Chain A
Amino acid sequence: MSEIIKEAEAARNKQGQHGADVDLDSFRRDAPAHGTDPDLTCLSDSEMEHLAGVGIVAAPQERAGSFILKDHSPVHCSMGQDGVELLSIKTALAKYGDLAEYWWKAVHPGTDKYTAQAALALDDGYFIRVRAGVKAALPVQACLFIGAEGLSQNIHNVVIAEAGSELHIITGCTTAPDLHRGLHVGVSEFYVQKGATVTSTMLHNWGDEIVVRPRTSVIVEEGATFMSNYVCLKSARSVQMDPLVRLVGPDAVTRLNTILVAAPGADFDVGGRVSLEAAGTRAEIISRTITTGGNIISRGLLTGHVPGAKAHLECSGLILADGGYIRAIPELDGRVAGVEMSHEAAVGRISQEEIEYLMARGLTENEASALIVRGFLNVKMEGLPRELADEIERIVEAFGKSVF
């Protein structure tokens, strides 16, 4: 533990590599205390409705596990399937000897001031472990909720999918409907062991002055698969993240999907990095971004270390209104002969030809534009439970209707 603290101490004032610098001290650290809520009754109907918008359901029987963190308190934690373990991270640390094999092993505490803060002032987080060969029949859901004005929330999550297991995690990040300002720092470490499959779907519905600094690393072993779906169609003040997926075992596979919309005032610097370190590894990064007046930097980095590694990167941006920008920064870093990596990037407006084609079928210009924007955001996300796919479709449709 002391090494971790030392590394973090040294990085206390280290700015992040990307994104605007955040004054950590301008956020409150004194969170109101919340009692536990085993039956999910303390959340009001309107709060529950709010959570439904980020994929969190009030019926624990529809999930293999449910975890709700409100401000700094784990208010709810329930499990529903043998072999699928879900605990608050503090409980897990106490129970499993500090999780020595996994704690800060994928993310370095000294990365920047945000990881340092998470290491030095941990609030809580979730621990999920799926035992070898167990296939979670239903997704595990985790909700990270900020309800107190001006609060900073330091989260650390650890997810372990043992050999041959399957897990789908839905993480819903949101703030109280009337909340203005807050900071969410989230360290997440994923260990996807031999032959396991993990799908991580994150839905976001932040308040418009929320600052978000996730720090995620994923280690994917032989024959294992990690899929990520990041959806943020409602605004935030500033989001900067650049998760790293390391494909360390032969034939490991990953696909990172991002769809996001930046409204006026929003600043997104989001990307994904995949490091292909073993034979037969495959990666795909797909990002579809839209600005209606906010700023977006869309990054992607593929690093190929071994011959035969195959990867593709796609960054597409649509500018629907002036006032902001979209910068697509796809990078390919090939270290040996025999890597196959490619990228396509496009930033522009909706094609007039496509709009007019639909108008020729009788749609108005607005109807046509909304349909095309929906299609643009309609990235294929595999393995989503039906109602979650429907929810995402509903959010996308509502967005399409709201801008035209």
Chain B
Amino acid sequence: MLLEISNLSVAVGDKEVLHGINLTIDQGETHVLFGKNGSGKTSLLMALMGFSNYRITGGQIRFKDQDITRMPINERARLGIGMSFQRPPTLRGVKTKDLIRTFGGRQEDREKEISGLNMATFMDRDINLGFSGGEIKKSELLQLILQDPELILLDEPESGVDLENIKIIGRSIKKLLQKHLRRQRTKSGLIITHTGLILNYLEADMGHLLLDGHIRCEGNPREMFETIQTAGYEECARCQR
């Protein structure tokens, strides 16, 4: 197992927002996380990444057979976890290129990815300052591509993105997750989506429904999305009872 979350509880401030989550992702698999606003999806990703505001109050996270429950964020990143944020902070004065430069690799490879996402003009801008919703998503994705993690956590990668850019983003994610490979695929993903649009660009292996901090349903992501779309989240949760 690449990622094993067992009985994980997470609190934000004094409030427990995730209650005993169990979820596993194997190498090469793409999972999708559904759920209403406020159900705890972002909290789960932030806790996996190790953000201090998301306090782990119980349970365990294992990644590549290591217990990473208390591991510092940057060590998780080094170990191969990367995340695209729903609402990343603005870093005043820090140019996007200053961060891009830290990823190493060859200059021309970096430039190829930058132009592939049409992000060249953003390099001299402060990170996320005045970026539109879609521009933030592209900037996040660019960083992830250069970081090249093995487990890719995407928090609503398509929300706020226009129809033209959604194509670019969809294709980039597909490539990032090595969907073109079959047997040798090493990349895995956990993707939060409301619109389901991303499912038009890549096949997902497994869906999970999060409601009020509990996993309420697991199954075929397309079927789950159909149910949510036609009958709502509650109906989707009912299927397992």
Partners in one complex: yes
Residues of A within 8 A of B (CB): 351-354, 356-365, 367-368, 371-372, 374-379
For A362, list chain B residues within 8 Å (CB). Answer: 74, 77-78, 102-103, 147
- Which of A361, A376, A379: most chain B CB closer than 10 A? A361
Give the distance in Å from the alpha carbon of A17 to the alpha carbon of B92 in the complex: 34
A-B interface, 3 closest residue pairs, ranked by CB to CB distance from nearest: A375-B93, A375-B94, A378-B93
For A377, list chain B residues within 8 Å (CB). Answer: 93
The answer on a CB contact under 8 Å between A361 and B89 is no
For A372, list chain B residues within 8 Å (CB). Answer: 91, 94
* Closest beta carbon of chain B to A181's beta carbon, Å: 35
Give the distance in Å from the alpha carbon of A120 to the alpha carbon of B88 in the complex: 58
Residues A352 and B93 in contact in the complex (CB < 8 Å), given A360-B82, A371-B98: no
Q: Which of B88, B102, B103 contacts A367 (CB under 8 A)?
A: B102
Residue on A with the closest CB to B76?
Answer: A360
Give the distance in Å from the alpha carbon of A354 to the alpha carbon of B92 in the complex: 10
Give the distance in Å from the alpha carbon of A200 to the alpha carbon of B98 in the complex: 28
For B53, list chain A residues within 8 Å (CB). Answer: 352-353
Complex interface bits, B75-98 against A, C-beta within 8 A gives 1, otherwise 0 = 011100011010011011111001
The answer on a CB contact under 8 Å between A371 and B94 is yes
Give the distance in Å from the alpha carbon of A372 to the alpha carbon of B78 in the complex: 20
Whether, in the assembled complex, B115 has its beta carbon less than 8 Å from a beta carbon of chain A, the answer is no
The answer on a CB contact under 8 Å between B93 and A361 is no
The answer on a CB contact under 8 Å between B94 and A357 is no
The answer on a CB contact under 8 Å between B83 and A359 is no
* 14 other A-B residue contacts (CB within 8 Å) besides A361-B99, A377-B93: A353-B53, A353-B89, A354-B91, A356-B73, A357-B85, A358-B99, A361-B77, A361-B103, A362-B77, A364-B74, A371-B102, A375-B98, A378-B94, A379-B93
Residue on A with the closest CB to B78?
Answer: A362
* Closest beta carbon of chain B to A154's beta carbon, Å: 37
Give the distance in Å from the alpha carbon of A351 to the alpha carbon of B49 in the complex: 18
Give the distance in Å from the alpha carbon of A352 to the alpha carbon of B51 in the complex: 9
* Closest beta carbon of chain B to A259's beta carbon, Å: 10
Residue on A with the closest CB to B153?
Answer: A360
Give the distance in Å from the alpha carbon of A89 to the alpha carbon of B78 in the complex: 60
Give the distance in Å from the alpha carbon of A283 to the alpha carbon of B103 in the complex: 40
* Closest beta carbon of chain B to A208's beta carbon, Å: 27
Give the distance in Å from the alpha carbon of A140 to the alpha carbon of B143 in the complex: 43
The answer on a CB contact under 8 Å between B83 and A374 is no
A-B contact count (CB 8 A): 72
Whether, in the assembled complex, B72 has its beta carbon less than 8 Å from a beta carbon of chain A, the answer is yes
Residue on B with the closest CB to A367?
Answer: B102
Whether, in the assembled complex, B52 has its beta carbon less than 8 Å from a beta carbon of chain A, the answer is yes
Residue on A with the closest CB to B104?
Answer: A362
Give the distance in Å from the alpha carbon of A371 to the alpha carbon of B76 in the complex: 20
Can you list 7 A-B pairs, Cβ within 8 angstroms, ordered by A?
A360-B49, A360-B73, A360-B76, A362-B74, A371-B102, A372-B91, A375-B92
Whether, in the assembled complex, B205 has its beta carbon less than 8 Å from a beta carbon of chain A, the answer is no
* Closest beta carbon of chain B to A384's beta carbon, Å: 16
Give the distance in Å from the alpha carbon of A361 to the alpha carbon of B126 in the complex: 16
Q: Which of B73, B85, B92, B93 contacts A359 (CB under 8 A)?
A: B73
- Which of A351, A358, A372: most chain B CB closer than 10 A? A358
The answer on a CB contact under 8 Å between B92 and A376 is yes
* Closest beta carbon of chain B to A269's beta carbon, Å: 25
For B76, list chain A residues within 8 Å (CB). Answer: 360
- Which of A367, A374, A375: most chain B CB closer than 10 A? A375
Give the distance in Å from the alpha carbon of A362 to the alpha carbon of B83 in the complex: 11
Residue on B with the closest CB to A352?
Answer: B52
Residue on B with the closest CB to A288?
Answer: B93
* Closest beta carbon of chain B to A363's beta carbon, Å: 6
* Closest beta carbon of chain A to B129's beta carbon, Å: 10
Q: Which of B74, B78, B89 contacts A354 (CB under 8 A)?
A: B89
For B88, list chain A residues within 8 Å (CB). Answer: 357
Q: Which of B51, B74, B85 contacts A363 (CB under 8 A)?
A: B74
Give the distance in Å from the alpha carbon of A367 to the alpha carbon of B102 in the complex: 10
Residue on B with the closest CB to A355?
Answer: B73
For B50, list chain A residues within 8 Å (CB). Answer: 356, 360
Q: Which of A357, A374, A378 contacts B89 (CB under 8 A)?
A: A357
* Closest beta carbon of chain A to B130's beta carbon, Å: 14
The answer on a CB contact under 8 Å between B89 and A351 is yes
- Which of B53, B93, B143: most chain A CB closer than 10 A? B93
Q: Which of B52, B82, B91, B102 contacts A375 (CB under 8 A)?
A: B91
For B89, list chain A residues within 8 Å (CB). Answer: 351, 353-354, 357
For A358, list chain B residues within 8 Å (CB). Answer: 91, 99
